[in-house]
Structure 1
Amino acid sequence: MPNTLIDPRHASVSASITQAVLHAASRLGLPREELLDACGLHEAQLADPDARVSFASQEQLWQLLGSRLVAHPEPGLVLGANLSPGPFSVLGYLLQSSATLGEALTAGLRYQRLVGEGGELQLQEYADELRVLYRPLHPQLPATRTRVLALMAFWVQMMTPLLDDFRLLRADFAHPQPDELATYQAVFACPLRFSAADYALVLPLSLRDTALTQANPPLQSLLRQHAEALLARLPSEGLIARVVTLLGAQLAHGEPDRAELARTLHLSERTLQRRLAEEGSSYQQLLNDTRQQLAERHLASGQLPAAEIALLLGYSEPSVFFRAFRHWTGLTPGEYRAQHSRASA
């Protein structure tokens, strides 16, 4: 599913995460000044941790790092192991001071744009699983694989000391399975799934309410105030993007509720419909589009049965999903999956 939150032409990332990546590269013996010059960045741009850097510049940095670390089977994993939480500024400290893992992940969703606009973080609850998904911009670029693997490795590194019983049920990767898996196993220590619909870390749902070892409510309150101020300084998202984000979150719990979504946006249902119409869309159209894009992604990955996909999309009965999918594409879910498999082969 494309990331509708972000206009790629104007996407930016925080200077703090760029600093963190450069620090990791320096630990691996790569010359900082050469990397800055090659990416058109300057030290003055990075002096303020709350400043912004164009995502295109940082994407160029990831591409360069991947080409320089060819001795490592997966440059992203070795970079992620060398990232430090400190340079991630307010969001990193906010996550660590949260009372529970669920609270930390909710804060991550709320303030993800403070770190960067190179992708979209989502949470899904399904059966006894808590899925932390990341959907990157430009998923086909080689730099994206390096970047996303570094982020996933860093997340594991950051979460492990915060929970006495941290563990992963599974790690999902959108790229095909590589020849060498030892580095993956060392980082994630869990079953691995490749060619998946999304990049995701899958945790036991029971960990959601687990208290974090570094919980600090007074500090968290101050950090939230700072995070809200920083978020207000960023260019605002369009209403369509905000609705799509909320729909994705609601779908993980069943049929979306338009009234609840409108309340979350501090709008009446009538005002929500009017403003969506002004942006050339409607609630039902966005719901259908979101479901179709998610359905096609899941079917293309070949991992989940169609009946499970129906539940993930908030349908009470698989037959309702099957009819909707045929209306969208002219194909049944099985026919779409077979057609995609033939095209891939």
Structure 2
Amino acid sequence: MNAIATDRVKLAPGFWASMRRIGIAPHDILRKCCLPLSMMNEPVVTTAQYYAIWQSYAELVGDTAAGIVRLATAFETAQYPPAALSTFHARDYRDALTRMTRYKQMCPPEHLRMRETDDHGLIDLEWAHATQPGPSIMVGTTLAYLLELGRRGTNLPLTAQSVSFVGEMGDTVVLESFFGCPVQVGADVNRLTLRRSDLDLPFASYNEELLDILTPALDRSLTELQSNQKLSDKVKWILVRCLSQGRIDIQSIAQTLGLSDRTLQRRLTEEGASFKQLLADTRHAQALAFLADPSREIKEVAFLVGFEDPNSFHRAFRSWEGTTPANWRAAQEL
């Protein structure tokens, strides 16, 4: 388990340049989300500021789908940070995506998880530590960029097998034209599904000498970040991924971390935390995030945060918020 939990998000060096390239003035974005113009020169922002920047871009660009396609195809290779540059010069598409999912850990809040089946390569976008998911336009741009990466690297007009998004994405016809496949919205997961055979395609931009320089440095940076991460943050990240899998106990989490349950509890105590409280806090945060989506039934939310019995969820929620899930949701809509 290697996720990096932090509330500091790095803006890619070419982010603002890409905005200018598609006709969106950075100062208009910052003014719209009430952030100082000096932030154009800040390489690191908070998660809340990062979300606000993306949401402002969505409002300025109009249709979410159009904004996704415009930005995903606007990045200049010369402006890639080292982690992204290593993906562009990877050996093949699989190597590029493997590097992307690995080094994305150094730049939360989103987290990429890749796996392969007999016929497909699947990349899921999840949330490493944030209590709220990011704006739809950010999610869409991330998955669109992964396909664009393959197209640029192979010099082939690759298409996806399927794409699914949790949130609304605007004009899905625009997205289906870009991805070359059906696009589902209102799904349970943000997922890009590729043909496994495409992952074997070599990159015309492969540069072994550059990778020999970049890879050790990137791996050292990732290792340093992981070693500095608090154990309680690691536990919360695992809990977010495992809540809907049924009964969760300290033994299973300790096993995932390669620790005994006694060692895990002792180290959490040293950090001023406890497994019971981390589980409650994680359930609470995730419940609020899911309830903010009016399309989800409360019974579904109870299951997603690890309660088999809806009545147990109602009791826990009342202890957290002093009201019922239904009343809390209604209050947010006022």
Asked if these proteins are the same fold (TM beyond 0.5), I'd say yes
Equivalenced residue count is 300
Residue 198, structure 1, aligned to residue 189, structure 2: yes
The one of 121, 127, 135 equivalent to 1:135 is 127
- Distance change (3 Å), C-alpha of 1:123 and 1:239: farther
Q: Report the secondary structure of 1:122's partner residue.
A: strand
Alignment of structure 1 residues 182-197 onto 2, 5 Å: 182-197=173-188
- Distance change (3 Å), C-alpha of 1:123 and 1:72: closer
Residue 223, structure 1, aligned to residue 214, structure 2: yes
Aligned partners of 2:124 and 2:267: how far apart in 1? 31
Mapped contact 1:124–1:249 kept (Cα < 8 A): no
Aligned partners of 1:27 and 1:260: how far apart in 2? 48
1:155 aligned partner, one-letter code: L
Report deviation, 1:173.
Answer: 0.8
Identity of aligned residues (%): 18
Mapped contact 2:112–2:125 kept (Cα < 8 A): yes
Residue 90, structure 1, aligned to residue 82, structure 2: yes
Mapped contact 2:5–2:234 kept (Cα < 8 A): no
| Match of residue 102 from structure 1 | 94
Aligned partners of 2:39 and 2:24: how far apart in 1? 16
- Distance change (3 Å), C-alpha of 1:72 and 1:191: closer
Mapped contact 1:262–1:269 kept (Cα < 8 A): no
2:175 aligned partner, one-letter code: Y
| Match of residue 306 from structure 1 | none
Q: Report the secondary structure of 2:125's partner residue.
A: strand
Mapped contact 2:4–2:226 kept (Cα < 8 A): no
Alignment of structure 1 residues 225-304 onto 2, 5 Å: 225-231=216-222, 232=224, 236-242=228-234, 261-262=256-257, 271-272=263-264, 274-276=266-268, 278=270, 280-281=273-274
1:78 aligned partner, one-letter code: R
Report deviation, 1:174.
Answer: 0.9
Report deviation, 1:109.
Answer: 2.8
2:36 aligned partner, one-letter code: G
Report deviation, 1:22.
Answer: 1.5
- Which runs of no fewer than 5 residues in structure 2 stay unpaired? 244-250, 297-305, 315-325
Aligned partners of 1:248 and 1:126: how far apart in 2? 24
- Distance change (3 Å), C-alpha of 1:41 and 1:86: farther
Residue 53, structure 1, aligned to residue 53, structure 2: no
Residue 147, structure 1, aligned to residue 147, structure 2: no
Residue 40, structure 1, aligned to residue 31, structure 2: no
User: Which moved further from structure 2: 89-98 or 157-166?
Assistant: 157-166
Alignment of structure 1 residues 173-188 onto 2, 5 Å: 173-176=165-168, 178=170, 180-188=171-179
Mapped contact 1:100–1:208 kept (Cα < 8 A): no
- Distance change (3 Å), C-alpha of 1:262 and 1:70: closer
Aligned partners of 2:219 and 2:231: how far apart in 1? 19
Q: Report the secondary structure of 1:42's partner residue.
A: helix
| Match of residue 318 from structure 1 | none
| Match of residue 164 from structure 2 | 172
Aligned partners of 2:190 and 2:95: how far apart in 1? 21
Report deviation, 1:191.
Answer: 1.4
